[in-house]
């Protein structure tokens, strides 16, 4: 089966101008790298992987020429292993735990080997999993991001009917709309969606739960509901000029850059990105890769307090990104569109509180200002459902099963973990599928929703 990597996408998207920072390994490179692996018996790399992929085993299979077996080992543990190979922060997960680090030698390139194996399987049309014997049970999944895709795939293997409701016209969640193109482009995300969905579950795109269909409808027509609703739009900074043309959220900009062929950076000479997390780092690296001459991160605290990964920041600095620490944004300036950002110096007082000195403001000229200070939480949309508890914007779930306080509702991914990695969402989605299966198995004597 040939899977189109461009289905549903327009040509001329800006993301296509950004090169892959970790190109696909050749066969010779993959075998050579695989033969470096020590196949540790205690395998700390496995312990560091949220989905528990048997990393030494899949690498051994590459080394012995069994690439199909390697891909099966990966996908058995993580059906989203293809995208995770590219987007996972391996430097702080599996590769970060590689024993070679202790020997002051380069860690095994686990992510690139994983991508090599899964790409081989995709290109050859290999399928390893089939739909289970029908149970007559039907599960609704809200949102078509990684958590729901992993959950739906596992539910289908168990014989349940899984139906994903997605408000956007394209599935894949942030893999399609928000991941930096130098890691994963939207077309490759959609290719993965097609591969995962081919097991036999349904995705209903363009259906907004809460508008086109209610939660009461889902409860009536399904035996269980999985919430994989992710996070909401970029958080606002509530400062003057925030609505000027040329000032927008970083996540919104990245989505336009990845999916909208009308998006352009023509004429942008100076760009500012407010924030110190991974989204901010992705945004500045993308802008530099697109040729914006001067790109600066503006952060309220110092480097030690940044939440973004240190290795990503180091790469951004090598690519010419500048960072202005201890600076708080006060206002976006301009008439019809952005011309700059007014900032004030900050410091931490004796009690550890951030203090902003608005008596010494300065102006940073800019043609584009992106806000990367977090995303709004969507958990409030389900807070009215009896039994579902929301804690600091996150849906509270049982860690072992993904079950919420309402027995028929389960959740996973960013809406439950607050915004972790794709691999965490995949693990939580699969875990929730097992939790749902256990629930429905105990209810075997009751009529399925379709028969009520």
115-174 pLDDT, tens digit each: 999 999 999 999 999 999 999 999 999 999 999 999 999 999 999 999 999 999 999 999
The mean pLDDT value for 326-340 works out to 96
Q: How confident is the model at residue 2 (pLDDT cuts 50, 70, 90)?
A: very low
Q: Report which of 93, 85, 97, 89 is spatially closest to residue 309, judged by C-alpha positions.
A: 89
Q: Which domains does the chain have, with CATH numbers?
A: 20-124 (1.10.1060.10), 138-167+206-230+378-451 (3.50.50.60), 234-375 (3.50.50.60)
Strand, coil or helix: 97: helix
The mean pLDDT value for 12-28 works out to 95
CA–CA separation, 15 and 84 (whole Å) = 19
The mean pLDDT value for 58-73 works out to 98
396: left (phi over 0), alpha (psi -120 to 50) or beta: beta
Residues 429, 430, 433, 438, CA torsion sign: negative
Spacing of C-alpha 227 from chain mean position: 16
Torsion angle (degrees, nearest 10) of CA 255, 234, 384, 450: 10
CA–CA separation, 333 and 365 (whole Å) = 9
The mean pLDDT value for 57-77 works out to 98
Torsion angle (degrees, nearest 10) of CA 300, 304, 310, 314: 70
pLDDT of 451 > 90? The answer is no
Cα angle, residue 275 at apex, residues 414 and 266 outer, rounded to 5°: 105
Q: Report which of 449, 409, 432, 440 is spatially closest to residue 159, judged by C-alpha positions.
A: 440
CA–CA separation, 378 and 233 (whole Å) = 9
CA–CA separation, 157 and 169 (whole Å) = 26
pLDDT (0 to 100) of residue 381: 86
Instruction: State how far the alpha carbon of 354 is from the alpha carbons of 296, 350, 357, 358, in Å.
Output: 21, 10, 10, 13
**pLDDT, greater one: 144 or 12:** 144
pLDDT (0 to 100) of residue 445: 66
Torsion angle (degrees, nearest 10) of CA 165, 169, 170, 175: -80
82-108 pLDDT, tens digit each: 999 999 999 999 999 999 999 999 999
187-221 in b/e form (b: 16+ CB < 10 A) is bbbbbbbbbbbebebebeeebebeeebebeebbee
Q: How confident is the model at residue 443 (pLDDT cuts 50, 70, 90)?
A: confident
Residue with tokens 């001067």: 294
User: What's the chain's average pLDDT?
Assistant: 95
Return the biggest CA–CA distance within the chain. Answer: 71
Q: Which ranges of 242-293 does DSSP label H, i.e. alpha helix?
A: 250-259, 278-289
User: What are phi and psi for residue 274, nearest 5 degrees?
Assistant: -90, 120
pLDDT (0 to 100) of residue 450: 63
Contacts of 116 (CB under 8 A, 6+ apart): 24, 25, 30, 62, 67
Number of other CB atoms surrounding residue 36 within 10 Å: 15
Q: Report which of 235, 206, 221 is spatially closest to residue 144, judged by C-alpha positions.
A: 206
CA–CA separation, 219 and 408 (whole Å) = 8
232-285 pLDDT, tens digit each: 999 999 999 999 999 999 999 999 999 999 999 999 999 999 999 999 999 999
177-229 pLDDT, tens digit each: 999 999 999 999 999 999 999 999 999 999 999 999 999 999 999 999 999 99
361-387 pLDDT, tens digit each: 999 999 999 999 999 988 778 878 999
Residue with tokens 């459902």: 385
| Least confident segment among 9-23, 29-43, 171-185, 375-389 | 375-389
pLDDT of 1 > 90? The answer is no
pLDDT (0 to 100) of residue 7: 58
Contact assessment for residue 189 and residue 176, using Cβ atoms and an 8 Å cutoff: yes
- What are the tokens at 20? 């892959």
Instruction: State how far the alpha carbon of 136 is from the alpha carbons of 38, 159, 425, 433, 452, in Å.
Output: 47, 8, 27, 16, 12
């Amino acid at each position: 089966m040939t899977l189109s990597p461009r289905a549903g996408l327009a040509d001329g998207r800006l993301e296509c101008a950004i090169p892959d920072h970790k190109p696909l390994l050749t066969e010779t490179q993959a075998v050579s790298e695989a033969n470096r692996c020590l196949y540790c018996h205690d395998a700390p790399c496995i312990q560091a992987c949220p989905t528990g992929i048997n990393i030494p085993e899949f690498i051994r299979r590459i080394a012995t020429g069994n690439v199909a077996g390697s891909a099966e080992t990966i996908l058995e543990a993580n059906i989203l292993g293809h995208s995770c190979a590219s987007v996972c922060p391996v430097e702080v997960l599996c590769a970060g735990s590689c024993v070679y680090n202790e020997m002051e030698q380069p860690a095994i390139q686990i992510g690139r080997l994983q991508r090599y194996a899964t790409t081989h399987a995709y290109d050859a049309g290999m399928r390893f999993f089939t739909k289970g014997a029908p149970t007559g049970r039907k599960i609704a999944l809200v949102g078509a991001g990684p958590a729901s895709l992993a959950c739906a795939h596992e539910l289908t293997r168990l014989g349940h009917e899984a139906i994903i409701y997605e408000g956007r016209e394209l599935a894949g969640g942030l893999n399609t709309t928000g991941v930096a193109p130098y890691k994963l482009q939207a077309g490759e995300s959609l290719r993965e969606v097609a591969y995962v969905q081919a097991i036999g579950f349904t995705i209903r795109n363009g259906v907004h739960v809460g508008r086109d269909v209610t939660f009461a409808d889902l409860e009536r027509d399904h035996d269980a509901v999985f919430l994989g609703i992710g996070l909401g739009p970029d958080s606002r900074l509530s400062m003057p000029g925030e609505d000027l043309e040329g000032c927008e959220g970083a996540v919104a900009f990245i989505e336009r850059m990845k999916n909208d062929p009308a998006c352009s950076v023509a004429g942008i000479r100076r760009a500012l990105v407010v924030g110190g997390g991974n989204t901010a780092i992705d945004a500045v690296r993308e802008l530099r890769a697109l040729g914006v001459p001067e790109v600066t991160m503006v952060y309220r605290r110092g480097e030690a307090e940044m939440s973004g990964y240190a290795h990503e920041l180091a790469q951004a600095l090598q690519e010419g990104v500048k960072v202005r620490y201890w600076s708080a944004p006060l206002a976006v300036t301009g008439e019809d569109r952005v011309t700059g950002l007014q900032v004030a110096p900050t410091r931490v007082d004796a009690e550890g509180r951030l203090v902003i000195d608005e008596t010494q403001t300065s102006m940073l000229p800019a043609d584009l200002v992106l806000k990367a200070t977090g995303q709004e939480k969507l958990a409030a949309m389900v807070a009215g459902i009896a039994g579902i508890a929301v804690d600091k914007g996150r849906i509270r779930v049982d860690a072992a099963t993904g079950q919420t306080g309402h027995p028929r509702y389960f959740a996973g991914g960013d809406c439950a973990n607050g915004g972790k990695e794709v691999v965490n969402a995949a693990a939580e989605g699969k875990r929730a599928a097992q939790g749902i299966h256990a629930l429905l198995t105990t209810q075997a004597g009751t009529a399925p929703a379709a028969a009520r």
